[in-house]
Structure 1
């Protein structure tokens, strides 16, 4: 389960990181506001269509009444406040400075997970996070003596990072639910908000030969990426998923090197080494102690392991994994585990 979740997290980072050089290949010459809106819109539309095809029509989401406030909060912070704050900050901040500041998202995500949502973090996880973020900072550090014009722009970018950090932690609360729906609705809201803002500011949509590929890049780099991110949250928790996802700029740079033939500097290799060390530290983590599982009711794909010993109120063909609303009885035991959807307990 952990290996699959790590694959999801790194896959999400790879797709998101590749979206920037892919947008560059398209030669888009539109404002950041409208570009963000189109990428998010491509994500929302693509995932919604995918879900309709998968379910052969519109099916109930399956969120419980207690989960809707978490999802709405995630949409507001991640789909509305975060993008708008970032776009405002970009108008007053250089691109290199903004790229560097975006690493605050990983740090703030972890801090909120550890301090507010009480997710477990041992010394190895903190060390791994520091190594990954240090590599990212090196990769995004301005190579020229560009100056920061005032504090308003950088502050707006930092606020955007805080909004996305809140979004990541709130999304964790509903990560057991349908990942396609969660990612799709967030993409639709963010796309509509940013596109409306861009058009209101007098910007124009690109012609279809560029519009179509842009929406496709958004579907892959923002939509499929977010689905994988939500799946990773199920098995790794917020802080660890955020750490793996913060390798996105490195993976994006690797795509630029391989497919665009961009030159490689020594900074790239040092950053790659630091990120590799951080990922290795996380991969070799082992966390085990006696813990208590409280009663819980939710719906997600599962097999009948030690955490899913329950009866079925319907005829079951013994196929696994399968998905349905099920209850967890109280359970106390000890085994290696991570802050997944079944191990969100105090230490």
Structure 2
């Protein structure tokens, strides 16, 4: 039986990864808003995802060039159905339902309803996939969601028309996407995000061209690619890595901070006013964040015998032998022998056990 050496060791690296993903994605929103002055919305959506795919393609080739291709587990044939489902729900269905919904409802209702993605992600993780949840986690998630709702509240009711239902369906699709992505979180996140960006970007870009949308200037094209690489591509890679360490529910909760980040960036970038709404949303989200950071899920738990492949270092859960020197981190198929111990943990790759 063993314990973690640091009181906060369980927070690293999952929590920083999830927060960094939220910061990059949230900060990209006001920059994308500036680009809408010169680029059609659907064309911009395509360019953002294609920019993510191109940038991550360069990253992937660079890793091969420096001999670091073995640090992450490759996608296997058995992963392809999951990858196809992720692309279908998150790259095709979600964006399509969103565009159809926004065309049929008000912008204020659409902005408010988009907060359902975080709720859908957490609910599916807890109810369908059995991730553990306690009162502190529920309270923290509720505070973060409440902050997001306050931030986007238009001062009037939500129209539950056809457009609203389509946006809600888009959020459900993304909630399913986030939970299915957890199934692939042991594989190379760069490749996962690259494939998703190529498909989602290619579809929206092709549809925009088919509508006769004009091609943007070189400057606007380069700006969209840069925003897409950081705000979509790198953010998605960090999100997948956070799923590996935190599970879907907690990653989804931290990622729900993205709208607040976007609003704060907009204060400086777009010279928007500091409103009581933003202050209240910040206080609610800060309290939710504190509740999540203060979580200490600690109990005796049994690790069943397990064989899998993912990037790892030789830590408490990886004490297998190697023939010859090993570069950390590295990836290969390895076996975990049964183990009983106690330490603070999240539902990561090695702690997906049930709770009575």
Give the shorter-chain TM-score range: over 0.9
CA distance in 2, matches of 1:76, 1:24: 26
- For structure 1, which segment, 247-256 or 69-78, has the greater mean C-alpha deviation from structure 2 after superposition? 69-78
- Give the secondary-structure state (helix, strand or coil) at the position aligned to 1:67: helix
Kindly state the Cα deviation for residue 38 of structure 1 after the two structures are TM-superposed.
1.2
CA distance in 2, matches of 1:284, 1:15: 24
The answer as to 2:332 corresponding to 1:324 is yes
Partner residue of 2:210? 200
Partner residue of 1:11? 20
Q: Of residues 334, 340, 347 in structure 2, which corresponds to 1:339?
A: 347
Q: List per-residue Cα deviations over 1:9-47 (Å, max 9, x = no partner).
A: 111111111111112333534332222111111111111
Partner residue of 1:89? 101
Partner residue of 1:250? 260
Partner residue of 1:109? 121
Kindly state the Cα deviation for residue 146 of structure 1 after the two structures are TM-superposed.
8.1
Q: Does the 8 A contact of 2:43 with 2:205 survive in 1?
A: yes
Kindly state the Cα deviation for residue 327 of structure 1 after the two structures are TM-superposed.
1.8
Q: Of residues 243, 254, 268 in structure 2, which corresponds to 1:233?
A: 243
Q: Does the 8 A contact of 2:38 with 2:220 survive in 1?
A: no
- Give the secondary-structure state (helix, strand or coil) at the position aligned to 1:42: helix
CA distance in 2, matches of 1:141, 1:288: 38
Q: List per-residue Cα deviations over 1:254-300 (Å, max 9, x = no partner).
A: 10113332111111101000000000000000101222222333332
CA distance in 2, matches of 1:74, 1:263: 38
CA distance in 1, matches of 2:344, 2:248: 18
- For structure 1, which segment, 38-47 or 302-311, has the greater mean C-alpha deviation from structure 2 after superposition? 302-311
- Give the secondary-structure state (helix, strand or coil) at the position aligned to 2:165: helix
Residues 103 and 147 from structure 1, CA distance in 2 versus in 1: closer, same or farther, beyond 3 angstroms? closer
Q: Does the 8 A contact of 2:117 with 2:172 survive in 1?
A: yes
CA distance in 2, matches of 1:254, 1:233: 25
- Structure 1's unaligned 5+ residue stretches are none
Residues 197 and 295 from structure 1, CA distance in 2 versus in 1: closer, same or farther, beyond 3 angstroms? farther
CA distance in 1, matches of 2:39, 2:84: 30
Partner residue of 1:259? 269
Kindly state the Cα deviation for residue 83 of structure 1 after the two structures are TM-superposed.
0.8
Q: What RMSD, in angstroms, separates the aligned Cα atoms of the two structures?
A: 1.9
- Give the secondary-structure state (helix, strand or coil) at the position aligned to 1:256: helix
Residues 292 and 65 from structure 1, CA distance in 2 versus in 1: closer, same or farther, beyond 3 angstroms? farther
CA distance in 2, matches of 1:147, 1:334: 47
Residues 202 and 295 from structure 1, CA distance in 2 versus in 1: closer, same or farther, beyond 3 angstroms? farther
CA distance in 2, matches of 1:87, 1:25: 19
- For structure 1, which segment, 34-43 or 108-117, has the greater mean C-alpha deviation from structure 2 after superposition? 34-43
CA distance in 2, matches of 1:295, 1:130: 36
Q: Does the 8 A contact of 2:36 with 2:44 survive in 1?
A: no
CA distance in 1, matches of 2:329, 2:220: 41
Kindly state the Cα deviation for residue 191 of structure 1 after the two structures are TM-superposed.
0.3
CA distance in 1, matches of 2:158, 2:339: 57
Output the TM-score relative to the length of structure 1: 0.93
CA distance in 2, matches of 1:306, 1:113: 26
- For structure 1, which segment, 53-62 or 297-306, has the greater mean C-alpha deviation from structure 2 after superposition? 53-62
Kindly state the Cα deviation for residue 147 of structure 1 after the two structures are TM-superposed.
7.3
Partner residue of 2:284? 274
- Give the secondary-structure state (helix, strand or coil) at the position aligned to 1:346: coil
Output the TM-score relative to the length of structure 2: 0.91
- Structure 2's unaligned 5+ residue stretches are 1-9
Partner residue of 2:313? 303
Q: Does the 8 A contact of 2:39 with 2:220 survive in 1?
A: no
Q: Does the 8 A contact of 1:28 with 1:210 survive in 2?
A: no
CA distance in 1, matches of 2:347, 2:37: 40
Q: Does the 8 A contact of 1:298 with 1:327 survive in 2?
A: yes
Aligned residues, how many? 343
